[in-house]
């Protein structure tokens, strides 16, 4: 993956890191597109590397952790461009990150190759109630010679169901269903306000299940910090760099 050297923003330490797979998709799609994508809301310039409005740039808060798990994001084109998309955050944290734009009519051979790569043991993360019981598991048990690959559909719920139904290549992959008890424990711990977890929160739970505890915690903290930067920028509020989330995330920076 291409290396990105960050320009030095005020309050940003110069960092060199890999451009994540979602950023690569965005840049490819942007080049293909004839009309530029305009993010709704603020016209303030966004940082090209973290998508947050520059005054609230997140770049120096990107955690660095070792992960055994890999991640494969299946996205809609719209999601790739959304500044609020949280699949991006997962791809920032997990070194082995892959992202694909889903298409009903075309099958991406690279996706099929990834799913069939013998080093990976894929799990498709989806609610168990929509799938035949024999395909569903709530634990992650990985063959000693393999590493877990979490396939996450990063889209609205309506789109996710459609993607699930219309992608025959998922039929042979076991479904990892996060049980409600785990979800509510997570919500209590993180005091998540929303009824539904976002993709980054779901991924953090998957990493916990796979024993990738550090990755799970780093991603949860990173998501909290992202939310503070994103909402701070949106509401034009100053950043509180001493917030609990920032302090906790510091432990995962280089």
Among 22, 25, 50, 90, which residue interacts with Zn ion (rule: CB under 5 A)?
Answer: 50
Among 20, 26, 49, 233, which residue interacts with Zn ion (rule: CB under 5 A)?
Answer: 49
3-state secondary structure the chain: CCEEECCCCCCCCCCEEECCHHHHHHHHHHHHCCCCCCCCCCCCCECCCCCCEHHHCCHHHCCCCCCCCEEEEEECHHHHHCCCCCHHHHHHHCCCEEEEECCCCCCCHHHHHHHHCCCEEEEEECCHHHCCHHHEECCCCCCCCCEEEEEEEECCHHHHHHHHHCCHHHCCCCEECCCHHHHHHHHHHHCCCCCCCCHHHHHHHHHHHCCCHHHHHHHHHHHHHHHHHHHHHHCCCCCCCCCHHHHHHHCCCC
Size of the site for Zn ion (CB under 5 A): 5
- Write down the least CB distance from residue 63 to Zn ion, Å: 14
Residue nearer to Zn ion on the CB measure, 12 or 76: 12
Among 59, 89, 115, 225, which residue interacts with Zn ion (rule: CB under 5 A)?
Answer: 59
- Write down the least CB distance from residue 250 to Zn ion, Å: 17
Q: Is 23 in the site for Zn ion (CB under 5 A)?
A: no
- Write down the least CB distance from residue 207 to Zn ion, Å: 24
Q: Is 53 in the site for Zn ion (CB under 5 A)?
A: no
Residue nearest to Zn ion according to CB distances in the complex: 47
Stretch of residues binding Zn ion (CB under 5 A), selected from 52-60, 102-110, 118-126, 159-167: 52-60
Residue nearer to Zn ion on the CB measure, 9 or 173: 9
Residue nearer to Zn ion on the CB measure, 62 or 98: 62
Q: Is 47 in the site for Zn ion (CB under 5 A)?
A: yes
Q: Is 225 in the site for Zn ion (CB under 5 A)?
A: no
Q: Is 61 in the site for Zn ion (CB under 5 A)?
A: no
For residue 210, how many other CB atoms are within 10 A of its CB?
A: 24
Q: Say how far apart CA 151 and CA 99 lie, in whole Å.
A: 10
Q: Is 203 in the site for Zn ion (CB under 5 A)?
A: no
Binding site for Zn ion (CB under 5 A): 47, 49-50, 57, 59
């Amino acid at each position: 993956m291409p290396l990105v050297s960050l320009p030095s923003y005020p309050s940003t330490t110069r960092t060199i890191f890999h451009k994540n797979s979602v950023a690569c998709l965005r840049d490819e799609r942007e080049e293909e597109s004839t009309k530029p994508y305009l993010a709704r809301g603020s016209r303030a310039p966004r940082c090209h590397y973290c998508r947050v409005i520059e005054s609230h740039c997140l770049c120096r808060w990107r955690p660095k952790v070792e992960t055994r798990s890999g991640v494969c994001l299946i996205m809609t084109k719209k999601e790739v461009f959304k500044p609020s998309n949280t699949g991006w955050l997962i791809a920032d944290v997990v070194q082995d990150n892959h992202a694909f734009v889903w298409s009903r009519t075309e099958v991406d051979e690279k996706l099929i190759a990834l799913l069939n790569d013998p080093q990976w043991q894929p799990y498709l993360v989806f609610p168990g109630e929509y799938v035949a019981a024999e395909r569903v598991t709530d634990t992650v048990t990985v063959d000693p010679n393999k590493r877990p690959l979490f396939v996450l559909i990063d889209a609205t719920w309506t789109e996710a169901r459609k993607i699930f139904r219309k992608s025959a290549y998922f039929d042979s992959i076991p479904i990892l269903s996060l049980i409600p008890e785990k979800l509510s424990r997570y919500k209590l711990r993180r005091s998540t306000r929303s009824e539904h977890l976002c993709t980054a929160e779901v991924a953090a739970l998957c990493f916990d299940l796979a024993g990738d505890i550090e990755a799970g915690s780093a991603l949860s903290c990173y998501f909290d910090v992202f939310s503070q930067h994103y909402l701070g920028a949106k509401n034009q509020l100053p950043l509180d760099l001493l917030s609990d989330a920032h302090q906790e995330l510091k432990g995962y920076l280089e």
